[in-house]
Amino acid sequence: MKSHNIGFETDNLSYEELERAGPPMCKPQANILRRPVRIIDIYLSTISTRKMVVRGVDVFTDKKLEQILYLKDPVVALVVSHAEYTLINIDAPILNLLTDDGEPKDDVNVPDGSLGTRLAADFALGKELRVRTVAMMGEERVVSYKEAAD
C-alpha cells in the first residue's frame, strides 16, 4: 500500500512565530474553507487516489467542516495565540476587558452557551474575573475564565 505524506505548511512564518504558536488544543489547527478548524480526520478520497479529505471542527462556531484537496495541496497550519485579560464590564454582547498593561480591549464577544451564562452570573455576583482567549485568523474567542487572584 502506498503511503502519502500529508504535511503542514507554515506560510512564510519564522521559527520564532511557530514556537510562540503554543500547544494546540488537543488536535492540530488548520485553515479549511477559510475558517480556523481543529483537524479531526484526514483520509484518502474514495473518488480519486490523488485527493484527500480533511475534516475539522470550526474553533469558534463548533460547526463541522470538510474539504477535498489534492495530495500536493498544502494544508496551512495556523498560528494560535492565547491571552488572559481582566473582565471590567459586560456590555452585551461585548466584553470590556483590560490587558495586563492597563489598555482597554473591547472587541471580544460574550461566549455562547453555558460558558457565557456562567461568566455573566459570576460577574453579576461581583466576582473579579480573568478570561482566557484564543485567537486565530483575526478572530478571538473566550475559552475559559477564573476568579482573579488577590
Q: 105-138 as b/e, with b when 16 or more CB fall inside 10 Å?
A: beebebbeeebbeebeebbeeeeebbbebbbbbe
| 28-48 pLDDT tens trace | 778 888 888 888 988 887 777
Question: 150 pLDDT exceeds 80?
Answer: no
Query: Which CATH number does the domain 8-76 belong to among 2.30.30.30, 3.90.550.10, 3.90.226.30, 3.40.50.920?
Result: 2.30.30.30
Task: Output the pLDDT for position 128.
Answer: 94
CATH class of 81-147: mainly beta
> How many angstroms separate the CA atoms of 94 and 86, rounded?
14
pTM flag (> 0.85): no
